[in-house]
Structure 1
Amino acid sequence: MHTVPSPSDTAQRPDRAFTAPAVVASCVGFVLIGALQSLYGPALPALRSEYGLSPSGAGLALSAHFVGGVTGVLGFDRAFGRIGNRALLGVSYALMALGSTAFAFSPDWPLALLGALVTGFGFGGIDYGLNQLFATGFGRRSPAMLNILNAHFGIGAIAGPALVGLLGADRYPAVFTAFAVLAALLLIPLGGVRDRTPGPADNRPAGTADDPTSSRGSRAPALLAAFVALYVLHVAVEAGVGGWEPTHLEAVGYSTAFAASATSVYWLMLTLGRFLVAPLTLRWSEPAIIAVSCAGMACCLLAAVLPGLAPYAYAGVGLFIAPIFPTGLPWLRRAVPAARRAGALVIAASMVGGVAAGPVLGKAIELFEVRTVPAVLFALAGACQAATWWLTRATRAPLGR
């Protein structure tokens, strides 16, 4: 289906996918999805009380959200390019508004789970859609803009639980309703999004290093597998620190309150790191930034083995791990241009890595002890570094611009 460009399309620079108000609205959209993902945990006590649930039963809400997220990423990827960007984002925001409202006012638990699933569909569409558009919609500034966009996800992830804590867990319906209204309002600025954008392989001379007909095309499956491994592993580390840092700190002698505060600092540093690295992406290549990030993450996890350094080392992990997810997407699009669905696969893989991190790390800790948390995560960080080194050699990326 061909869409005639609107005036708001033609008024923009040809290499830009967003007007300035649409960029701001997109960042608000990432605050929204960060907050929605983080709301289920603080709401668990009220959910258990209202619906008479066991802890595992109440935890199904977050599982339903993530299942919807993965399905939304893969489903909307199939529609990407077939329908306009505004329609893709508009349907995603509408699904989040509908799902959040259903979750807030469901008379029974199965309907609430359906609401979480629908919210997840919209979440996946926004996560995928905006990351894809930001990866190509700002020219060489795309890595910087992706870091800024994803930093706003962290702002939402910090603000969501704080809001529930301020109002009380029993007021979670009001919080979900407020975010449903915000999702509906974000439909308004979509006129500033270019409805059609060039694909990653468009306007690329044949025979270049990134051309899908070049020799690199034959290695596309191996490159894509390495990127998927990098994303699964680093998100597993990210979620692993967030989930197990309090337990580890308590095990080595810190108070419960201190451990909780230290974990909040970790998430704050992860958010701050994305803002700080944005200007660096204009001077250094994506492989160089990710290599330094992986090395710093590994060193900090090694330092976390020492109880006296652990809280500060975990904060360092947050700072170093921050740029990997957003900075890797433009690198992926250049390295594997023939794989149109590459972005969807790594984003979906990152969600699977986040879901799997808790039980997998829990099993590993059962076999050893909770004090080994930094060592287990260090091994994962080392694997991230190995994947980055291999990808850097395979793509022959320069160390700096």
Structure 2
Amino acid sequence: MDKPPSTPPLPRPDDETPLFSRAAVVASCVGFILIGALQALYGPSIPAFRDEFGLSPSTAGLGLSAHFVGGVAGVLVFDRLFGRADPAAPAARIGNRKLLGGSYLLMALGAAGFALAPTWPAALAMALVAGLGFGGIDYGLNQLFAVGFGRRSTAMLNILNAHFGIGAILGPALIGLVGAERYTAIFLGFAALTLPLLLCLAGVRDGAPPHTDEATGADGASRAADVRSRSLATVLGAFVLLYVLHVGIEAGVGGWEPTHLETVGYGATAAASATSVYWLMMTVGRFLVAPLALRWPARSIIAVSCAGMTACLLLAAVPALAPYAYAGVGLFIAPIFPTGLPWLNDAAPRARRAGALVIAASMVGGVAAGPALGKAIELSGIRSVPLILAAVSAICLATTVWLIRATATRRPTDTARPSPEPARPGAGDRVGETS
């Protein structure tokens, strides 16, 4: 069957060649530690930003906002370039190595420029540049891991994203150890640590496996899902909703847990420690689910995660249980982001930009969670924090149940019927690719 001219096929090198060498896998995990640390460095450095540039708290917080704006742009730019080729000259395709290498360089340049910027507007511009690289690495490695390890992709994605959590824990700890006033040296050191990863890109293969039934499992165990009579756009919309809401819960707990615990009677130190445990449990949860992902399908893991997350948030409304319940939220929410990507690839194998859509949406969800949750809390009070988040989590659970039904595979007898003629690519096959 001829491919649509707008999306030329990716080069198909020897299928036995792994997409990542072992050194490249290790380097990718280190890269995720670095992007996790970078994202977490802005907040603890705010006091130093305010002192150096004479900023208000809200203006100083724009550093992280600029980083996230750059991150969304980086995801979209990487996706636009990924697999791009001239139909008459497939060799002109921009390969994985160049895109990842460019992203690492942008992140290093942005981090160094942020550290050395003479004015706050210049610093924000450099945070935007660092965010571009951040988004390219985040999307690029997630997407390549989602298709590069066959049936082990879900497990490998959880391990990859667990290293992001390690970085998010180490970044603030480093600021606390050396002091926020030395943020310049920390950002410069971060930029320097990024550069050696370029040497490991030789272990990344330029040709990614195609998103088809053939690529999702040679034994047929993970065939591309049939979305039945429902439109692909509706299924993708449900995935976007799941990602936006669960990242909103993740950011909401991280931002409001200390305030809620102090309101119900815990001391500031205990509240801060409990929040650190929440982030730690997110990292632990991804490591723990990796072996489970080898035996259980992604949809089952996400369903259990959403149910457990909802139950824990309801328990967090009980003051005596709140610190432990929030830790449980971290454990259950951990697998959703990395585990959802292989499920998405199976559910929408021909929607090449689906991964970019949900990852960009997750970043938007993280940014929008603060104002939206703040307004809800303003109307209902601090004690309502876990209940508000539990309601959002219940929507995540309902969305997951709907997706399980909508993406269920047909029985073999249903899929074995001969087709009178090759199927033509329809308008619903490529969400987001309308011109």
With structure 1 as the length reference, what TM-score do the two structures score? 0.94
Cα distance in 1 for partners of 2:269, 2:227 equals: 55
- SS at structure 2 position matched to 1:187: helix
| C-alpha displacement of 1:62 | 0.4
| C-alpha displacement of 1:89 | 0.2
2:312 to 300, 305, 318: 300
1:239 to 224, 229, 251: 251
Q: Is the 8 A contact 1:211 1:217 kept in 2?
A: no
Instruction: Report the CA distance shift for 1:148/1:215 in structure 2 as closer, same or farther (over 3 A).
Output: closer
Counterpart amino acid of 1:84?
A: G
Give the match for residue 214 of structure 2. Answer: 203
| C-alpha displacement of 1:13 | 3.4
Give the match for residue 42 of structure 1. Answer: 44
- Structure 1 residue runs of 5 or longer lacking an equivalent are none
Instruction: Report the CA distance shift for 1:316/1:211 in structure 2 as closer, same or farther (over 3 A).
Output: closer
Cα distance in 2 for partners of 1:218, 1:81 equals: 28
Counterpart amino acid of 2:260?
A: H
Cα distance in 1 for partners of 2:227, 2:344 equals: 16
Give the match for residue 128 of structure 1. Answer: 139
1:71 to 62, 70, 73: 73
CA-to-aligned-CA distance 1:80-136 (integer Å, 9 cap, x gap): 112100001000000001000000001111110011000000000000000000000
Cα distance in 2 for partners of 1:247, 1:182 equals: 35
Cα distance in 2 for partners of 1:155, 1:235 equals: 18
Give the match for residue 163 of structure 1. Answer: 174
- SS at structure 1 position matched to 2:349: coil
Cα distance in 2 for partners of 1:376, 1:190 equals: 44
Counterpart amino acid of 2:319?
A: P
| C-alpha displacement of 1:202 | 6.8
Counterpart amino acid of 2:351?
A: A
- Structure 2 residue runs of 5 or longer lacking an equivalent are 1-7, 85-93, 411-435
Query: Are residue 13 (structure 1) and residue 16 (structure 2) matched?
Result: yes
Give the match for residue 303 of structure 2. Answer: 291
Counterpart amino acid of 2:311?
A: C
Which protein shows a greater Rg? 2
Give the match for residue 138 of structure 1. Answer: 149
| C-alpha displacement of 1:337 | 1.4
Give the match for residue 95 of structure 2. Answer: 84
Cα distance in 1 for partners of 2:184, 2:121 equals: 16
1:252 to 264, 278, 282: 264
Query: Are residue 320 (structure 1) and residue 320 (structure 2) matched?
Result: no
Moved more, 333-342 or 143-152: 333-342
Instruction: Report the CA distance shift for 1:215/1:140 in structure 2 as closer, same or farther (over 3 A).
Output: closer
Give the match for residue 392 of structure 2. Answer: 380
Counterpart amino acid of 1:309?
A: L
2:284 to 259, 269, 272: 272
Give the match for residue 153 of structure 1. Answer: 164
- Give me the CA root mean square deviation: 2.1
Counterpart amino acid of 2:309?
A: M
- SS at structure 1 position matched to 2:55: coil
| C-alpha displacement of 1:211 | 5.9
Cα distance in 2 for partners of 1:218, 1:89 equals: 35
Cα distance in 2 for partners of 1:320, 1:211 equals: 26
Give the match for residue 27 of structure 1. Answer: 29
| C-alpha displacement of 1:216 | 4.0
Query: Are residue 189 (structure 1) and residue 192 (structure 2) matched?
Result: no
Aligned residues: 390
Cα distance in 2 for partners of 1:375, 1:261 equals: 22
Counterpart amino acid of 2:40?
A: S
Q: Is the 8 A contact 1:217 1:336 kept in 2?
A: no
| C-alpha displacement of 1:215 | 6.2
Large movers: runs of 4+ above 2 Å: 1-5, 201-205, 208-212, 214-218
1:332 to 336, 344, 350: 344
